[in-house]
Amino acid sequence: MKTIEWKDGKVFLIDQRKLPLKYKIINCSTYQEVAEAIKKMKIRGAPAIGVAAAFGIALAAYSSKASTYGEFIQDMEKAKNYLALTRPTAVNLFWALERMMNLINIKKDVDLFKLKDIILQEAENIAREDIEINKAMGEQGSSLIKDGDSILTHCNAGALATVDHGTALGVIRTAFKEGKKIHVYVDETRPVLQGARLTAWELTQKKIPFTLITDNMAGFLMYQKKVNLIIVGADRIARNGDVVNKIGTYSLSVLARENKVPFYVAAPISTIDMSLKSGEEIPIEERDPKEVTHISGKQIAPAGVKVFNPAFDITPNGYVEAIITEKGIIRKPFEKNIKLVVNTA
């Protein structure tokens, strides 16, 4: 099954909090349930939460009792604002909501009954395009991987963070499918452990050889010359090429520079936020201290300790070798080259 899909008037998704121990499909029949699934990280990863939000708007449309367009748009605005409050960092969420609302605004004159189907079609388009984009990104990025390479990745930027295939892990999957003999190092990605739980699960499913490490082992691995390149995903990229991704990404980029390991970011064009000058302007989500003080519900730190738990960090563009997108590989100078690629997309 895909990470998320629409079936019989409901949104079905893999509950990622249960993996890898349990593979459980849940469904949402209201936009509030979709918002809850995003907030609680039953679904997570930048492109996946964008698609979830789009399906949330479709659910809101079908449940609307409005009899005029004016009433309908009010219901849609309410749902959009509700969904927008779920997570602040990944721009794909806002990008998808905006795309849905733009369509609803353009189709003012369409009969409401028909409009609801058009809204669902648009959400389905976003989901279908996500897979196509990831596959295109995979082909672009695979050119950077040589036979015999060892690749380090962080967090989960695979099929589970998207509708299918993945971004950073999608590049790795494509290289493997092309027959390249590769090895992947997966860091566990404290505190939520997306690497250990999700990326390790996906690589096991796809039979791609990998080794799991804790986050603090990455430097030693690079020092020992065991990593040829690093590929990570992104939650938001500013127009100057600064990258916001899962906490720990910045540390990896600095270690990569020190050890002369190329550091690549794979992300769809929809992850680039052209309205922001630099990474400094990207809101960084801070999450429940319990994610740090507890593991699998078990307390590991003294009760009541002070905790700092940012879910993401900023990697300055200088540490990024290139950004892999579905439209091509963007190299420095980022400001100029990002603009060129975005304008032709």
Which residues are identified as catalytic?
235
Q: Closer CB to ligand MRU, residue 61 or residue 133?
A: 133
Q: Which residues, 6 or more positions from 63, have their beta carbon under 8 angstroms from its beta carbon?
A: 30, 31
CB of 170 to ligand MRU, least distance (A): 8
Q: Is 173 in the site for ligand MRU (CB under 6 A)?
A: no
Q: Closer CB to ligand MRU, residue 115 or residue 161?
A: 161
Size of the site for ligand MRU (CB under 6 A): 17
Q: Is 42 in the site for ligand MRU (CB under 6 A)?
A: no
Nearest to 4 by CA among 127, 129, 138: 127
Q: Is 174 in the site for ligand MRU (CB under 6 A)?
A: no
Q: Closer CB to ligand MRU, residue 47 or residue 56?
A: 47
Q: Beta-carbon neighbour count of residue 341 at 10 Å?
A: 17
Q: Closer CB to ligand MRU, residue 107 or residue 294?
A: 294
Of 210-239, which residues contact ligand MRU (CB under 6 A)?
233-235
Task: In whole angstroms, give the CA distance from residue 136 to residue 47.
Answer: 15
List helix spans (H) across 65-190: 69-84, 91-106, 112-142, 168-177
Q: Is 96 in the site for ligand MRU (CB under 6 A)?
A: no
DSSP conformation letters of 164-200: SS-SHHHHHHHHHHTT---EEEEE--TTTTHIIIIIH
Stretch that binds ligand MRU, among 40-48, 174-182, 254-262, 291-299 (CB under 6 A): 40-48
Q: Which residues, 6 or more positions from 3, have their beta carbon under 8 angstroms from its beta carbon?
A: 13, 14, 43, 45, 48, 159, 160, 161, 162, 163, 164
Residue type, 168: A
Tell me which of 162, 293, 317, 325 binds ligand MRU, using CB under 6 A.
162
Q: Closer CB to ligand MRU, residue 90 or residue 120?
A: 90
CB of 127 to ligand MRU, least distance (A): 14
Q: Is 130 in the site for ligand MRU (CB under 6 A)?
A: no
Give the CA distances from residue 148 to residues 178, 183, 229, 262, in Å, rounded to whole numbers and listed in that order.
13, 7, 11, 16
* Tokens encoding 131: 């897979």
Q: Closer CB to ligand MRU, residue 61 or residue 168?
A: 168
Under the phi-then-psi rule, with left for phi > 0, alpha for psi from -120 to 50, and beta for the rest, what region is 265? beta
Residue type, 304: G
Stretch that binds ligand MRU, among 156-164, 210-218, 295-303, 323-331 (CB under 6 A): 156-164
DSSP for residue 51: H
Stretch that binds ligand MRU, among 70-78, 157-165, 204-212, 213-221 (CB under 6 A): 157-165
Of 294-313, which residues contact ligand MRU (CB under 6 A)?
311
**Site residues, ligand MRU (CB under 6 A):** 44-47, 90, 155, 157, 161-162, 167, 194, 233-235, 245-246, 311
